[in-house]
Amino acid sequence: MPFYARIKSLTSGIAGSFWFLPLIMAASGLVLAELAIVLESAEALASLRSQSFYPQFGPEGARSVLTTIAGGMMTMASLVFSLTFVGLTLLSGQLGPRILMMFMHDKPTQIVMGAFVGVFLFTLIVLVNVTEIEDGFVPHLAVAAAILSATIAFALVIYFVHHMALSIQADVIVADLGRQFEKAIGRVTEAGQDLDIARANRAFNRFETVSGVPVPATESGYVRHIAYDQLLQIAGRAGLRIDVLVRPDDFIGEGLPLALVEGPNPDISRLASAFTIGPRRDVLQEATYEARALIDIALRGLSPGINDPATAVAAIDHLSAGLLPLVRAEGVPRILFDESGRPCLRRPDLGLGHYLDLIVPALLPAMRSDTLATERLIALLALLDRVSRSNDQQAEIEKWRKVVAQDVDNHQLPQALKDWLARAAAR
């Protein structure tokens, strides 16, 4: 696995975990408790202890307060975990399991969990250091800090309940996922900004079929990341021509070809290391994962079991908004050049055609029972056609517009509905 892909996979796993941030906050609670106790004994604070504003607690009162806070923190932590898993269950059933990964990246949930665990451990350490003997040691600053932390933690409970009430709303989730899709498409278009699309298209038309040695997959799984820079570097130094056969998010079986390479003595193992394969789909590269998630939401909304066409329409609208930057960029180059300017790598289509091939065939059969969703799909294609300035993109859009139009004609729909859909196509 390339170093960049390894780091990105690690950071993605950490960001989507319920343990890392709470663990950091819990450790911080332990460290801060020890610091507060040490600070209480510092000579520098001797002059402050006699001041009226300095907090003063008796041993019995301090232990009583700290015990109450510790018990309350455990109760609130249990409530947070319960609400979180109830939310995960509802989301998984209504919008699909892909949404769980997005929900697990939710920082407010992780922070609230960590806050309660951190305050609990802080209070516990301070409680252990309170002695009940006469004139015993009481870390007054630490006790005051525990009371303040508990007050903040209880305010976080109110915020968390509000946050969960918003987070499990379908419209909010679809909008968040739509923004992630737009950002992912933005990364795709930014990666091709330094390349001449017209030059890449000319090179693609002249690129001869590679009939060389296959680069086999070392394991079965989903292609999570392809290090095109590494492939270009190898191809440039060794004078190779590479034909990449898979896209990120594709499933590949062990031993099946990831690419074909033509040239003198290719280093197959090093070429194979440019492909990161994992047991599940991830959001490391391209925007296919986000697109599939929105498609899944739309399909569930149109299913008889869920029957939520409004959510399906919202998902289609966000797919439309996400594809607009891709259309304005006039495509993603399929041919990549080495440092000398030699076209040496061909890859599958990662542009508009790829995403339309994902969206339209998946949604079209489910839309036959809902004319509103059909109208939004027709409007999506019409919008993309209106914005596009690329002949290749317009040809791809027109292909799917004809497929959708033919499917509508084959429906037993009233003529008024067919006219309405025709007006949507003509916008």
The CATH number assigned to the domain holding 297 equals: 3.90.1170.30
pLDDT band at 305 (very low <50, low <70, confident <90, very high): confident
Do 235 and 349 sit in the same domain of this protein? Answer: yes
Q: Provide the edge-to-edge strand list for the sheet that holds 335-337.
A: 213-216, 257-262, 241-244, 343-346, 335-337
Do 79 and 192 sit in the same domain of this protein? Answer: no
Question: Beta-carbon neighbour count of residue 164 at 10 Å?
Answer: 18
Q: Is 344 a member of any domain? A: yes
Do 248 and 149 sit in the same domain of this protein? Answer: no
Q: Does pTM top 0.85 for this prediction?
A: no
Whole-number pLDDT of residue 25: 94
Question: Comparing 181 with 188, which gets the higher pLDDT?
Answer: 181
Q: Of the given ranges (48-57, 179-188, 218-227, 280-289), which has the lowest mean pLDDT?
A: 48-57
Do 159 and 214 sit in the same domain of this protein? Answer: no
pLDDT band at 383 (very low <50, low <70, confident <90, very high): very high
pLDDT band at 427 (very low <50, low <70, confident <90, very high): low
Do 202 and 147 sit in the same domain of this protein? Answer: no
pLDDT digits (tens, 9 = 90+) for 323-376: 999 888 877 888 888 888 888 888 998 889 999 999 999 998 888 878 889 899
Is 69 within 8 Å of 151 (Cβ atoms)? no
Residue 208 has pLDDT above 80, yes or no: no
Q: Of the given ranges (42-51, 158-167, 212-221), which has the lowest mean pLDDT?
A: 42-51
Q: Which of 168, 188, 219 is the last residue of a domain?
A: 168
pLDDT band at 70 (very low <50, low <70, confident <90, very high): very high
Q: Which of 168, 194, 220 is the last residue of a domain?
A: 168
Whole-number pLDDT of residue 47: 60
Do 354 and 212 sit in the same domain of this protein? Answer: yes
Cα dihedral value 391, 394, 396, 398, nearest 10: -130
Do 155 and 180 sit in the same domain of this protein? Answer: no
The H or E element spanning position 251 is: strand 251-252
Q: Is 265 a member of any domain? A: yes
- Rounded to whole angstroms, the Cα distance separating 372 from 314 reads 11
Whole-number pLDDT of residue 193: 55
Do 163 and 205 sit in the same domain of this protein? Answer: no
Do 191 and 245 sit in the same domain of this protein? Answer: yes
- Rounded to whole angstroms, the Cα distance separating 299 from 66 reads 52
Do 94 and 200 sit in the same domain of this protein? Answer: no
What is residue 56's three-state secondary structure?
A: coil
Strands (E), 24-121: none
Whole-number pLDDT of residue 340: 84
Using a pLDDT cut of 70, give the percent of the chain over it: 85
Mean pLDDT of 292-302: 92
* Total domains in the fold of the chain: 2
Do 32 and 83 sit in the same domain of this protein? Answer: yes
Mean pLDDT of 148-162: 93
Residue 2 has pLDDT above 80, yes or no: no
The H or E element spanning position 32 is: helix 20-40
Residue 256 has pLDDT above 70, yes or no: yes
Question: Beta-carbon neighbour count of residue 37 at 10 Å?
Answer: 18
Is 117 within 8 Å of 22 (Cβ atoms)? yes
Among 175, 179, 197, 182, smallest CA distance to 326 is for: 182
Q: Which of 168, 201, 222 is the last residue of a domain?
A: 168
Q: Is 2 a member of any domain? A: no
The boundaries of the domain holding residue 67 are 15-168
Mean pLDDT of 158-186: 91
Is 304 within 8 Å of 372 (Cβ atoms)? no
Average pLDDT, the chain: 85
Q: Give one DSSP letter per residue of 369-424, joined into a string.
A: T-HHHHHHHHHHHHHHHHH---HHHHHHHHHHHHHHHHHHHTS---HHHHHHHHHH
What is residue 119's three-state secondary structure?
A: helix
Do 219 and 276 sit in the same domain of this protein? Answer: yes
Whole-number pLDDT of residue 98: 76
Mean pLDDT of 41-67: 73
pLDDT digits (tens, 9 = 90+) for 17-46: 788 899 999 999 999 999 988 887 775 565
Q: Of the given ranges (71-75, 128-132, 194-198), which has the lowest mean pLDDT?
A: 194-198
Whole-number pLDDT of residue 37: 87
